[in-house]
């Protein structure tokens, strides 16, 4: 299965490690065109208010007409995604392996042995020539010992250092505000005193990351990805 990198913030990396996060939502790019009458145009399908759907061919012309009302028990957007011959409308597909890119540092332990440290949980591992060898029991944070090295942005984490890999098990397009309380829990958020429910917690998290271009209030279309729960959080 193809391995594909994906960025997560530190708190969300911890949620994955702890087995609390099994969903992630990413803005669909480009956003679909929505007409005043409610017709929604994606590059791969067009959805009409009366339930009529047209799924486009690979080259964006031709295609198939069908009635979404014949599938009352299924999400019509998911049904269209399954039916369309349009190639890879979503960046991640079921079966793809999500490889988490996270903040990291290459440094050494107290004996000078090279290690890699991950900022999300301060987990450290001995490393060889572009490979992770074994866990290191060092119980210190690079934040407390800046002379030992510096944190590097997650986008620069090399492929050999990807420690968290989870297969995608579901993909579907939806509006951001369609998220349920159960979904918000699967997103890995926690309920804080200032939040009325987990959806409110997710709303706050979303706007902290995407608020400038795609705030919660704009209710953008997103890809909802489900991925397998991490079973052995203490090991690579």
Q: Is residue 77 part of a domain?
A: no
pLDDT band at residue 233 under the 50/70/90 scheme: very low
Q: Is the pLDDT reported for residue 138 higher than 80?
A: no
Predicted confidence at residue 162, as pLDDT, reads 96
Last residue of a domain, one of 131, 154, 177: 154
Among 63-67, 88-92, 188-192, 195-199, name the one with the lowest average pLDDT: 63-67
Report if residue 141 sits inside a domain. Answer: yes
Whether 138 and 177 map to the same domain: the answer is no
In tens, the pLDDT along 68-120 reads 766 555 578 888 887 787 877 899 999 999 999 999 999 888 888 899 999 99
Q: Label residue 52 by pLDDT band (50, 70, 90).
A: confident
Q: Which domain holds residue 147?
A: 103-154
What kind and span of H or E run contains 15?
helix 10-17
- 160, part of any domain: no
Considering the domain boundaries, does residue 194 fall inside one? yes
Q: How far apart are the first and last CA of the chain?
A: 19
What are the tens digits of pLDDT across the range 12-50?
999 999 999 999 999 999 999 999 999 999 988 999 988
Q: What is the pLDDT of residue 73?
A: 53
Domain co-membership, 180 together with 132: no
- Confidence category of residue 145, pLDDT binned at 50, 70, 90: low
Domains in the chain: how many in total?
2
The count of other CB atoms within 10 Å of the CB of residue 22 is 21
What is the average pLDDT value for the chain, to the nearest integer? 88
Instruction: Please give the Cα distance from 187 to 189 (Å, whole number).
Output: 6
Q: Which residues contact 191 (CB under 8 A, 6 or more apart)?
A: 197, 198, 201
Residue 209: burial class (beta carbons within 10 Å; 0-12, 13-18, 19+): exposed
Pairing relationship of beta strands 221-227 and 165-175 according to DSSP bridges: antiparallel
| DSSP 8-state assignment for residue 39 | -
Q: Indicate whether 145 and 169 sit together in one domain.
A: no
Q: How confident is the model at residue 140 (pLDDT cuts 50, 70, 90)?
A: low
Distance CA 51, CA 49 (A): 5
Please indicate, yes or no, if residue 184 is contained in any of the structural domains.
yes
């Amino acid at each position: 299965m193809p391995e594909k990198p994906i960025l997560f913030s530190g708190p969300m990396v911890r949620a994955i490690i702890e087995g609390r996060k099994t969903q992630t939502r990413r803005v669909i790019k480009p956003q679909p065109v929505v007409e005043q009458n409610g017709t929604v145009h994606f590059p791969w399908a067009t959805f009409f208010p009366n339930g009529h759907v047209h799924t486009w061919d690979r080259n964006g012309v031709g295609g198939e007409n069908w009635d979404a009302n014949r599938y009352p028990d299924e999400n019509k957007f998911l049904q269209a995604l399954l039916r369309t011959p349009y190639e890879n409308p979503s960046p991640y597909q079921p079966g793809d392996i999500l490889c988490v890119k996270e903040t990291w540092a290459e440094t050494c332990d107290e004996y000078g042995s090279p290690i890699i440290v991950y900022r999300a949980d301060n987990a450290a591992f001995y490393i060889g020539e572009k490979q992770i060898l074994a866990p290191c029991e060092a119980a210190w944070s690079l934040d407390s010992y800046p002379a030992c090295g510096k944190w590097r942005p997650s986008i620069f984490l090399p492929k050999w250092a990807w420690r968290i890999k989870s297969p995608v098990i579901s993909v579907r397009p939806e509006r951001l505000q369609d998220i349920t309380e159960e979904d918000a829990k699967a997103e890995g958020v926690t309920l804080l005193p200032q939040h009325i429910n987990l959806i409110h917690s997710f709303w706050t998290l979303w706007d902290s990351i995407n608020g400038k271009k795609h705030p919660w209030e704009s209710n953008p279309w997103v890809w909802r990805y489900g991925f397998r729960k991490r079973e052995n959080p203490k090991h690579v």
